[in-house]
Structure 1
């Protein structure tokens, strides 16, 4: 077993990252050592790479970042009995305490003591990663490494879209980054009658249409509220999935949702957003839900089922592959928005 590995390290509290040689992490009694086969770049990783206000307040360099991956188990701790060497796995990236009120009542995804790999502790932009065995999800060996690596973010999309009834309803996905693109596919698979996809990037709007969007809308070329009003006969959309984090887009989401509708917010605005609570929430009687992580492990079962059944095909939104050494090219694409999901291969 090798003693050192390549890893992308957030070395200091500044923009950028470095490829370094670091020790391979040791495997504890209840932990598993995994050889990373594919790891995908998330919007959160871009926040950390850019070193914006959110990451400055949360992240403590130096450490290895990255949290979406698939890999092969190469070593298990002496107390591990749920996975074995050779298993293909992905991971629930929220490491929870198990004893707070949320964990004790089946809501571990909102554990008050959550630590996230690649954010609060070393992550998976590396050749190897160590995780608690209870966080692992065993994959079908037939599932390609790249598709297996996007199950964690797909879980965000599933949790956002399926936090209420979808069948027969109109859905607006605001922000067509990779998770937004997957949300489009999930909404269609769940029986949405019409899916609107809003973005400012033509490339991603084309991907949204490929993923199943009925009405892609470039929000600088067409007014989103006018489009929704016209195409819903003035009623508004039943469900808004907010993925952009942009204050203007978020406000448009609250204005386009129908009375009694739902707004599910996954995005992370970097600063406070002003919302007309009186007119756009209270008087409309809508449900507003913040989405964090994935329900453990209900959402993982849903993701696995959608992929294995072919109801959601994530291949069109996986657009680029790079070796780990070329990570800067991947981040450059993410920053420009001229990509879907970018996969790094250690």
Structure 2
């Protein structure tokens, strides 16, 4: 039996590097050799046991932001060949429940995602349905390709928010929030405002995309948004932190008739206090977006191919697979780290942040 190295989450706060069997694929699956797998904020949630649904899946090889090459093809695979550079839609809805049948697969009653509920990319290999595979063109570097999955999540949120041209957008959170801001700018939003407490991340947001940045340690973010919007409030506010307090701020800074896009995932027991009267008398709106799915992958690849979105400056470090747990903790401690890529192929870390 052939084996591979994999980081297995055996219990909250404990990854164990193991030799496990290389996944056996069915006729409808392909085996992908992992080049990079990015660390997502939700990986910290899985690691710490923040999400009860994911704790129920332990032991598990997590990691859902993966990119690699096809190692093995199932007999029914079409349009693919060994060695192709690929990314994969990580979503596996059941296809037969009420939500799937009415075109809402992200709300599937038995929703599963590779690397979140099923073994994922913090390993040397991962198996996926061949129909979930998307070819990555040569114009997209390996490093950019590792951003395809997080870009799909941002794209889905952008589509749900549906920002109109020349309208103001506030993004709370300057991690993946910088990508949200870039998509808002691509839609013609003005001004684009990014809020965070980290001066290094705010400086990057300003350099890459933001018209204004707000440091919550220096000013009240609600008051500053009102000042920058001439007392009206923002047309759209996207929360990309996952904290009840920042959600409360989002509802305070959005204008009458404006919209809050909920993206950041809070813990199961984290609740925000919001005045329902605002939904009535001020006609404020809210929508949620949990992930990218399906065509979002093709759209994300197009944006990267034509450099409409360039996530490269967000890559802070590349680490060997063996250093996953260490890197997870470093992200929480080192304010300069934004996106860390894990690779089974590298032997020592590469530090890229300034």
The reply on whether 1:26 has 2:24 as its aligned counterpart is yes
- Aligned-pair CA distance for 1:209: 1.6
1:41 to 27, 36, 39: 39
Once the two structures are TM-superposed, the CA of residue 345 in structure 1 deviates from its matched residue by: 1.0
Deviation of the 1:301 alpha carbon: 2.9
Q: Distance in 1 between matches of 2:163 and 2:181?
A: 15
What per-residue deviation string (whole Å, max 9, x for no partner) do you get for residues 117-146 of structure 1?
A: 122111110000001112112111332122
Structure 2 distance, partners of 1:210, 1:16, is: 37
Secondary structure of 2:290's partner? coil
Question: Aligned equivalents of 1:301 and 1:229: distance in 2?
Answer: 37
TM-score normalised by L of structure 1: 0.93
Aligned residues: 341
The separation in 1 between residues aligned to 2:209 and 2:298, in whole angstroms, is 22
| Distance in 2 between residues matched to 1:8 and 1:20, nearest whole Å | 6
Contact 1:182 1:211 in 2 (8 A): no
Structure 1 residue 55 displacement after superposition: 4.3
Deviations 1:8-32 (A, max 9, x none): 11012x3131211111111111000
| Structure 2, unaligned runs of 5 or more | 345-354
Moved more, 30-39 or 202-211: 202-211
Mapped contact 1:115–1:121 kept (Cα < 8 A) = yes
Matched, 1:143 2:121: no
CA apart distance, 1:331:
0.9
CA contact (8 A) 2:181 2:194 kept: yes
CA RMSD after TM alignment? 1.7
The match for 1:273 is: 271
User: Contact 2:54/2:116 (CA < 8 Å) preserved in 1?
Assistant: no
Is the contact between residue 175 and residue 198 of structure 1 (CA under 8 Å) also seen in structure 2?
yes
Say whether 1:78 aligns with 2:89.
no
Picking from 168, 174, 179, the partner of 2:166 is: 168
- Indicate the residue corresponding to 2:343 in structure 1: 345
The answer to whether the Cα contact below 8 Å between 1:254 and 1:281 also exists between their aligned partners in 2 is: no
Q: Which of the residues 102, 111, 122 maps onto 1:125?
A: 122
Query: Deviation at 1:56?
Result: 6.8
Contact residue 316 and residue 336 of structure 2 kept, 8 A = no
Secondary structure of 2:276's aligned partner = helix
The residue correspondences of 1:82-101 to structure 2 (distance < 5 A) are 82-101=79-98
Residue in 2 that maps onto 1:302: 299
Deviation at 1:170, TM superposition (A): 0.5
1:209-228 map, 5 Å: 209-228=206-225
Distance 1:142 1:59, change over 3 A: farther
CA distance in 1, matches of 2:131, 2:339: 27
1:17 is paired with a residue of what secondary structure? strand
- Separation of aligned partners in 1, 2:54 and 2:281: 35
The answer as to whether partners of 1:110 and 1:292 remain within 8 angstroms in 2 is: no
Residue aligning to 2:350: none
C-alpha distance in 1 between matches for 2:79 and 2:21: 26
Alignment check: 8 A CA contact 1:33 1:74 kept: yes
SS at 1:65 equivalent? coil
